[in-house]
A and B are shown apart, each in its own frame.
Chain A
Amino acid sequence: MADALIQMHHVNKWYDKFHVLRDINLEVAAGERIVICGPSGSGKSTLIRCLNRLEEHQQGDIIIDGMALTGDIKGVEAIRREVGMVFQHFNLFPHLTVLENLTLGPIWVLKTPKAQAEQEAMIYLERVKIPEQANKFPGQLSGGQQQRVAIARSLCMNPKIMLFDEPTSALDPEMVKEVLDVMVGLAEQGGMTMLVVTHEMGFARKVANRVIFMDQGEIIEENDPGSFFDNPQSERTKLFLSQILH
């Protein structure tokens, strides 16, 4: 793909001697929704964390929206404005209210005036269906609500790309659905490029354009959801699917 939004060419990463990403080649077009799955330790979280420089790759090129991802601080901050991230453990700021969590980025990074930032934050809070929690602190919310706030916080920055690092893995089962519904809503609205690391295969079937399977740092297989689940090619993929689809 010539003008893919995200391009990773021959990306390699080591933690000391451990080779965690092996020759990753990936291109993601704008608006695509990718689900990345694989056993633990396969490097899938590391892969998406390299996209916003929370991890540094030692070899290869990563190009996001035409900007090369290097050690240059200004470049990294510019890329981080385009890439939002939702974490497994939410990472909300406990000393700020929900509304302050949402408006922090727009006010300080995008230089949006406070009143406008708050207006937009309330719109996003309504989209994730918890406008009434605006003045509460994160510690007063349930896990599902906190994750939805985290999604709204990233959306408030109006990013082009949203990364999700196992967003529902730390939630009680009854709260998983409410967060997945928000993510499905986001996907169906269209336009947002999403990379989701998850074990929720139902979600993958519903909204993913592509499912990527990783094992031991390599991309083993990638395919559209239908073919991926019904007709896995590699033995390792088949093994993994048999373990999680029971």
Chain B
Amino acid sequence: MSEPTPAPTIHAPATSNPTPLVWVKTQLFSTPANALLTILSVWLLIMAVPALLDWVFLQAKYSAQSGQECREVEGACWAFIAEKHRLILFGTYPYEQQWRPLVSIFLLVALVLLSAWRKLWNIWLFPIWIVGLSVVALLMWGGVLGLTYVENTLWGGLPLTLILATFGVALAFPLGVVLALGRRSELPAIKIICVVYIELIRGVPLISLLFMSSVMLPLFLPEGLTIDKLLRALIAIVLFAAAYVAETVRGGLQAISKGQYEGADSLGLSYWQKTRLIILPQALKIVIAPLVGIFISLFKDTSLVVIIGIFDLTLAAKAALTDPAWQGFSMEVYVFIAAIYFIFCYSMSKYSQALEKRLAVGQQH
């Protein structure tokens, strides 16, 4: 009888949870080039981060009575923001009534978040948006239900930016979809109109559209008829964004395979039934990422209304700087509004990622 062979030594599998030292060695110092980059990055961080932390947190002054006190400190003057935050956020809206723009902000954000809820992806979405936007308009203008009337020249700051962005998106999106469908139409008249519109609008910067709508539009209107300045800005923003939405959606429409159109046709669906039930749901899903990109850009582009004197967030920030008692804190203010813009844009980005993820569940192509 032969000797039983010794049991083979069993090696432990390569660890997927390496110790920190091992990780540093393999990820940061694996090749000479890597090691050099690591050392360079660490040096940059050492130069930048402590100074940044110092300015933002450690040496900053959080409360002060005047600009003088703040200037004695090396760090940021967050006391300035504490003093001016209501001007920056709400503009020249009457002080006691500022709960109304605050509520409007939350309402607009809620509307957008609600639109991500799948159960509402049907005909109910339209009335919900119309009601929501009407309530916002009601709150901001007042004049009814015991709310004092506040003219829209007094509106400013964050609610104005949000209103321009939200109304802009809400109106530009359906217009863009219609333009995209029109451009793909077989009827030459419709196609030409859509092509000319899209190419014309895409050829000019938003600033020139704002100027044109602000300055030229009143010239074309009959005597006595004036269009509100805010409305003119909104029209320019909507027309601008719609052209870009149109091209993005058109890309999505082209990505749908011909078989889908034929499958729908063979069932006898009409053009609008086919577009609404089969083509658009698939096309829009494909272009969520670039569409949200357009909306994020639009949100930031609203700051251009500064040019025509509308008091959005950016202009409110500039106004805060004109106070003679608090001179020289432009860095703090622009960091503050940059943070606000960032919060909104990053949230939109995350929202789009979540939307894409949710729509991919249960549907494999």
On A, residues with C-beta under 8 Å from B are 52-54, 77-78, 80-81, 83-85, 87, 89-95, 104-105, 108-109, 137, 139-140, 153-154, 157
Contact A80 B267 (CB under 8 A): yes
Q: Which residues of B contact A108 (CB under 8 A)?
A: 269, 273, 277
Q: Which of B263, B270, B282 contacts A91 (CB 8 A)?
A: B263
A-B pairs with lowest CB-CB distance, top 5: A91-B263, A139-B364, A80-B268, A105-B267, A85-B266
Give Cα A52–Cα B273 distance, bound, in whole angstroms. 18
Task: Tell me, rounded to whole Å, the shortest Cβ–Cβ distance linking B259 to chain A.
Answer: 4
Contact A80 B266 (CB under 8 A): yes
Contact B281 A105 (CB under 8 A): no
Contact A109 B364 (CB under 8 A): no
Show 27 residue pairs from A and B whose CB-CB distance is below 8 angstroms, ordered by the A residue.
Answer: A52-B265, A53-B265, A54-B265, A54-B266, A77-B268, A80-B265, A80-B267, A80-B268, A81-B268, A83-B266, A84-B266, A85-B262, A87-B259, A91-B259, A91-B260, A94-B282, A94-B365, A95-B282, A95-B285, A95-B363, A104-B267, A105-B268, A137-B362, A140-B362, A140-B364, A154-B266, A154-B267
B355 at the interface (CB under 8 A from A): no
Given A54-B262, A95-B282, 14 new contacts (CB under 8 A): A77-B268, A80-B268, A83-B266, A85-B266, A87-B262, A93-B260, A93-B264, A104-B267, A104-B269, A105-B268, A105-B269, A140-B362, A154-B266, A157-B268
B56 at the interface (CB under 8 A from A): no
Task: Tell me, rounded to whole Å, the shortest Cβ–Cβ distance linking B275 to chain A.
Answer: 12
Q: Which residues of A contact B285 (CB under 8 A)?
A: 95
Q: Which residues of A contact B282 (CB under 8 A)?
A: 93-95
Given contacts A80-B268, A81-B268, A108-B273, contact A89 B259 (CB under 8 A): yes
B278 at the interface (CB under 8 A from A): yes
Task: Tell me, rounded to whole Å, the shortest Cβ–Cβ distance linking A54 to chain B.
Answer: 6
Total A-B contacts with CB atoms under 8 angstroms apart:
68
Q: What is the interface of chain B mostly: helix, strand, loop, or mixed? A: helix
Contact A87 B263 (CB under 8 A): yes
Q: Which residues of A contact B259 (CB under 8 A)?
A: 87, 89-91
Q: Which residues of A contact B262 (CB under 8 A)?
A: 54, 85, 87, 91
Contact B269 A109 (CB under 8 A): yes
Give Cα A64–Cα B15 distance, bound, in whole angstroms. 70
Q: Which residues of B contact A78 (CB under 8 A)?
A: 268
Give Cα A53–Cα B363 distance, bound, in whole angstroms. 31
Contact A104 B277 (CB under 8 A): yes
Given contacts A87-B259, A137-B363, A139-B364, contact A52 B269 (CB under 8 A): no
Task: Tell me, rounded to whole Å, the shortest Cβ–Cβ distance linking A45 to chain B.
Answer: 12
Q: Which residues of A contact B363 (CB under 8 A)?
A: 94-95, 137, 139
Give Cα A91–Cα B278 distance, bound, in whole angstroms. 11
Q: Which residues of B contact A91 (CB under 8 A)?
A: 259-260, 262-263, 266
Give Cα A137–Cα B360 distance, bound, in whole angstroms. 12
Q: Which of B263, B267, B365 contacts A109 (CB 8 A)?
A: B267
Task: Tell me, rounded to whole Å, the shortest Cβ–Cβ distance linking B271 to chain A.
Answer: 8
Given contacts A137-B363, A137-B364, A139-B363, contact A93 B266 (CB under 8 A): no
Q: Which residues of B contact A53 (CB under 8 A)?
A: 265
Q: Mark B240-270, 1 if CB is under 8 A from A, else 0.
A: 0000000000000000000110111111111
